[in-house]
Structure 1
Amino acid sequence: MGLIKTHVSVQAQTYRNFRWIVVDGNSTDGAVEWLGGLDNDYTDWKSERDRSLYDAMNKGLVKAVTEPGYTLFLNSGDTFHDASVLEKVAQAIAANPTQPKYVYGDYCLENSKGQLREVKAKSFDRLKLGMISSHQAMYFENQRLSEIRFREDFPLSADYCMIVEFVATLNPETAVLKIPGILCDFDTTGVSQVHRFDALKEDLLIRKRYMNLSSLHAGVLYLLHYVHTHTKLLRGQMGS
C-alpha cells in the first residue's frame, strides 16, 4: 500500500514540527484500518467519499491552513527524498532575508522497479511553459494558500492551475525561494500518458484564463507541447 510507504518517509523526518493530514476517499484496501491503528501525535486523518482527487486535496488544504506555516501535498506512494528534507526546507526558509510564500526544489521520478531519475526544477520565470517542478516538491505558505483552491473543472491540470493562481501576485524577488537539491521522490507507478493530450488542452485554457496570455501565445505553447508529447510517445513505442 502506497500510504504506508509515504508514512515511513514522513515518520523518518528529523524535523518534527509538522502535521500529517491524510484524506482517504473511503477506500476498501485496508487503509482505514491501518490509519486507525496508528499511535502518534502528528497524524490527522479522515475517510469519506470524495468527488475526485482534487476534491480530496482541497479538503486537506482547508484543514492545513488553519495553522500558520507551509503546506506540502504528497500523494499516496510519494516520499521525501531523505530524512533531512523538512529540516533543510525549514532552515532555508529561516535563513531567507524575507519570508517566502512559495518554496520549491528538484525531485526524482520513481518507476515501478524503484529506480530513480533526477529532474532539475526549472527557473520560476518558465512557469508559463508548464510545471517548473512536481507539486510534491513545492511548499505553499498557509496564509496565501487559504485564498486558493484546486479547480475541479480541470481534472487533469488542477495542480498547474492552483500554482499559477497562487503565485500570480507574488514578487519573485522576495516571495519565491528555490532550494538546491532533491526534495521528493514522485511515484510514477500507474501514471499513464493516455490523457496527456487532454491535459494539454486544459493547460491552454489555464494560460489564457489565469495567466492572461493571448490566444496566439497560448496556442503556440500548446502546439509545442503537443509535438513534444507526440515525439516522446513515438520514441517509447519504437523503444519497446
Structure 2
Amino acid sequence: MINFSIVTITWNNLAGLQKTYESIARQKYRHYRWIVIDGASTDGSVEWLAQLNEPRAEITSEADKGIYDAMNKGLVQATETPGYTLFMNSGDRFYDDSSLQKVVQAVTGAAAAPKYLYGDYFLESAEGKLTAAYGKSIDKISLGMPSCHQAMYFENAHLRHIRFRQNYQLSADYCMIIEFVRGLDAATQILHIRTPLCIFDMTGISQRRRFAALREDVHIRMQYLKLGATKAYGLYGLHFLHTHSKILRAALEKRLS
C-alpha cells in the first residue's frame, strides 16, 4: 500500500479551496492525508474548514511569512509518515478521479520504487480554458521545471531533508526540485508518467508575476546549476520573449472572441 500526503496551502481563496477539496474527495484511491495550511484567511475559509466532515483532513490555520513558509510547514508535516508528498494548492485539482491510482500503478510497475515522479498536466486560464502541457526530460532542468509541482510526487524519506528556500519569493519550487533531484539516478529513481495528472490554476501569484519569477530563475541557475552568466541570462531572454508572446497572443484571442 502506498500512502500520499497531499499538501494544500491557501489564503483567502475559499472558492479555489473548495474546488481542490472536491477533486481530492473524488479520488478512487483513498490512502491519503489532506494537509491544509491556511494563512489565517478572513474570507470564510477557516469556518468552512472547521465544519468540514473529512477524517483525512489535517488543518492548520495561522499567520505565515508567505507561500513558501506555508509550503515548508506542509512539507515538515507531510514527511512525518512514509510515502509520497504532492503539493496541490487551492484552485488546483486532479485531472480525473483516477489520478492517484495511476501514480500507484506507475510506482508498483517500476523495477524499483522511484524517489521522484512527475506527469503531464493541463493549464487552466482565468476564463476556464484548458491547454495541454507536457513534462520535460529531467536532463533539461536547466531550461525550467520538468512539470508543474501539482503533477510531481516526492518520496518522503528523501524530501525530509529538503526545504523551499524562502529568499526566493516566486521560484523557490524550481530551486527545491533542482536540489531534490541532485544525485538521483535518472534511469531508476526518476519516473515520468506520460499522462495528465492535474489541472494547474494559472491565476496564482507566480503566474501573475511571471517576469519577476524569471529574474529569480537566473540566480537559481547560476547558484544551484552552476551555469555561467552568459547562458543563464541567455535563457532569461528566451523565456522573457516566450512569456511576452504568450501574453500578447492571449490578449489577441480575447479581443477576437
TM-score tier (shorter): over 0.9
Task: Flag the 1:83–1:200 CA change in 2: closer, same or farther, 3 A.
Answer: same
Q: Report deviation, 1:233.
A: 3.3
Asked if 1:59 is matched to 2:103, the reply is: no
Residues 36-57 of structure 1 show CA distances to partners (whole Å, capped at 9, x for unaligned) of 1122321001000011011111
Question: 19, 33, 37: which one pairs with 2:51?
Answer: 37
Aligned partner of residue 24 in structure 2, secondary structure: helix
What is the match of residue 26 of structure 1? 40
**TM-fit CA distance, 1:234:** 3.8
Distance 1:97 1:219, change over 3 A: same
Q: Unpaired runs of 5+ in structure 1? A: none
User: Which segment drifts farther, 209-218 or 179-188?
Assistant: 209-218
The match for 1:216 is 230
Provide closer, same or farther for how the CA distance between residues 233 and 83 of structure 1 changes in structure 2, counting only shifts above 3 A.
Answer: closer
Corresponding residue number in structure 1 for 2:3: none
Rounded to whole Å, the distance in 2 between the matches of 1:141 and 1:59 is 17
Q: Sort the Cα spacing of 1:137 and 1:149 in 2 relative to 1 into closer, same or farther, 3 A.
A: same
1:19 & 1:33 partners in 2: Cα distance?
20
SS of equivalent residue, structure 1 residue 173? coil
Distance, in Å, in 2 between the alignment partners of 1:80 and 1:192 is: 20
Deviation at 1:199, TM superposition (A): 1.2
Q: 2: CA distance between counterparts of 1:212 and 1:112? A: 36
Q: What's the Cα RMSD here?
A: 1.6
* CA 1:183–1:193: 2 relative to 1, 3 Å: closer
148, 152, 176: which one aligns with 2:162: 148
2:247 aligns with: 233
Match of 1:4 in 2: 18
1:236 and 1:110 mapped to 2: Cα distance? 13
| Percent of pairs with identical residues | 54
CA 1:48–1:10: 2 relative to 1, 3 Å: same
SS at match of 1:181: strand
Instruction: Tell me, yes or no, if the aligned pair for 2:119 and 2:151 is still in contact at 8 Å.
Output: yes
1:104 to 2:118 alignment: yes
Choose from 187, 195, 200 the match for 1:181.
Answer: 195
Query: Once the two structures are superposed, what CA deviation does each residue of 1:207-228 show, in whole Å capped at 9, x if it has no partner?
Result: 1111111222212212222222
* Post-superposition offset of 1:169: 1.3
Tell me whether 19-28 or 192-201 shows the greater mean CA deviation.
192-201
| Structure 2 runs not aligned, ≥5 long | 1-14
Q: Which amino acid aligns with 2:55?
A: D
Hey, what's the Cα distance between the residues in 2 that align with 1:192 and 1:217? Answer: 23
CA-CA distance at 1:190 after TM superposition: 5.5
Hey, what's the Cα distance between the residues in 2 that align with 1:237 and 1:188? Answer: 15
Normalised by the length of structure 1, the TM-score is 0.95
Matching of residue 169 in structure 1 with residue 183 in structure 2: yes
Equivalent residues, number: 240
1:76 maps to a residue whose letter is S
Instruction: Find the aligned partners of 1:216 and 1:64 in 2 and give their Cα distance.
Output: 39
> Secondary structure at 2:32's aligned position in 1?
coil
**Corresponding residue number in structure 2 for 1:16:** 30
Partners of 1:152 and 1:224 in 2: CA distance: 26
Distance 1:230 1:78 in 2: 24
2:100 maps to: 86
Deviation at 1:236, TM superposition (A): 4.1
Aligned with 1:19: secondary structure? Answer: strand
SS at match of 1:72: strand
In 2: Cα distance, 1:38 partner to 1:237 partner: 39
Kindly provide the CA deviation profile for residues 138-159 of structure 1, in whole angstroms up to 9, marking residues without a partner as x: 0001011111111111101111
